[in-house]
Structure 1
Amino acid sequence: MKSLWAILVVLILLLQVRLWIGEGSFAQVWALEQSIAEQREENAELAARNDRLYAEVRNLRNEQGAVEERARMNLGLIREDETFFLVVEN
């Protein structure tokens, strides 16, 4: 009878090993859930960035003033009838 109990305990322990350590274990599932959460956060950040870029592209396509403003800010362009002043701080 004692050997039967010993065999049952060993079988239960062997079944528990896979639950805690093996493939599909609690630890692996937890790590995958963490990975999914991180990926969702990154996707949300990228979606927000894409929305900002799309709004900027729409603005540049629809308004000529936006293209002119961009050229002035990024390229330092000025019109023919304008005077450029450079202010240097000490």
Structure 2
Amino acid sequence: MLRYVALLLLILLIALEVKLWVGQGGMAEVWRLEKSVADQKHENEALKARNDALAAEVANLKDGDEAIEERARSELGLVKPGEQFYQVVEPPDPVRKPDGDR
């Protein structure tokens, strides 16, 4: 009789271990969720850095005239009255023929 009880307890222990490691809510899922949380934290840090940079740029545009002027010059091509604007355009490289077309 004691042998059957011990065997039953051993089978129950094995079933619980299997459920712990591979079942729903088991260790495999916990590890997957921990990795997912770590990945999300990393992405949040990158987005926070980007948001901080954008906030600094907005503050600079609100407070400083130099930033507005620089942006107008670089993005819109604006010049001040009395200034002359020179644009240097490099000629494109000539089309190279393959070596077999000599």
> Do these two structures clear the TM 0.5 threshold for a shared fold by scoring above it?
yes
Gaps of 5+ in 1: none
Structure 2 residue 82 is matched with structure 1 residue 81: yes
CA distance in 2, matches of 1:5, 1:35: 41
CA distance in 2, matches of 1:41, 1:4: 51
Secondary structure, aligned partner of 1:82: coil
The code of the aligned residue for 1:4 comes to V
The code of the aligned residue for 1:25 comes to G
The aligned length equals: 90
Secondary structure, aligned partner of 2:88: coil
Q: Percentage identity across aligned positions?
A: 48
C-alpha RMSD of matched pairs (Å): 1.1
Larger Rg: 2
CA distance in 1, matches of 2:48, 2:83: 40
Paired position in structure 1 for 2:41: 40
TM-score by length of 1: 0.92
* Higher normalized contact order (CA 8 Å, seq sep 6+, divided by chain length): 1
Gaps of 5+ in 2: 92-102
TM-score by length of 2: 0.82
Paired position in structure 2 for 1:4: 5
The one-character-per-residue Cα deviations of 1:7-64 (angstroms, maximum 9, x if unpaired) are 1111111111221112221111100110000000000000000010000000000011
